Amino acid sequence: MEFGREVFGVPGNVTQPVSFAPNQLIKQGAKLVTCAEDVIEELPTPVRAALGTSHATGDRRGESIGAASLNPSEKKIYDLLQSDEPQPIDDIVERSGLNSSEVLLRLFNLAMKGIVRQLPGKLFRQDSSVAGELRPKPA
């Protein structure tokens, strides 16, 4: 969509005339919004941090990510992921050397901690809003 800014749409009942415009925008490529988190996740990281999204949305990202206790399997899987390129589950299993059940369990745990995001098609990536916070700081 060419509006020079992000366009969002809250879907409405297709039988209601007032829902035509937002539904049409969604059809044309506007981001579908079903909750506040859908909008907040599109904001730049500094803005999200200033809003205190963890407090407002109830997720765990506001907790100290550096203090997030990752077990060795979770750390291994997290390190295989990138924030800019989603990885298919089969590639994660192959590269990790763990069985698929173990990988799925660890990815679920990482997603619950708010540091990994699952995308459609069983693709996974680091959550870009916190990805840099787990990386060691240069000395």
Question: What is the full per-residue pLDDT of the chain (139 aa) written as tens digits?
Answer: 566 788 888 998 989 899 999 999 999 988 888 887 788 788 777 777 766 644 444 444 444 344 357 888 889 999 899 878 899 999 999 999 999 999 999 998 888 888 888 888 889 998 866 545 454 444 4
> In whole angstroms, what is the distance from residue 84 CA to residue 126 CA?
8
Residue where a domain stops, chosen among 57, 82, 97: 57
Whether residue 37 is contained in a domain is answered as yes
Q: Are residues 83 and 52 in the same domain?
A: no
Residues 124 and 87: beta-carbon distance below 8 Å = yes
Largest separation between any pair of C-alpha atoms in the chain: 60
Q: Are residues 120 and 84 in the same domain?
A: yes
Q: Are residues 53 and 70 in the same domain?
A: no
Q: Which domain holds residue 76?
A: 66-133
User: 0.75 cut: is pTM over it?
Assistant: no
Number of domains composing the chain: 2
Whether residue 139 is contained in a domain is answered as no
Whether residue 78 is contained in a domain is answered as yes
Whether residue 116 is contained in a domain is answered as yes
Whether residue 38 is contained in a domain is answered as yes
Q: Are residues 70 and 125 in the same domain?
A: yes
Residues 75 and 134: beta-carbon distance below 8 Å = no
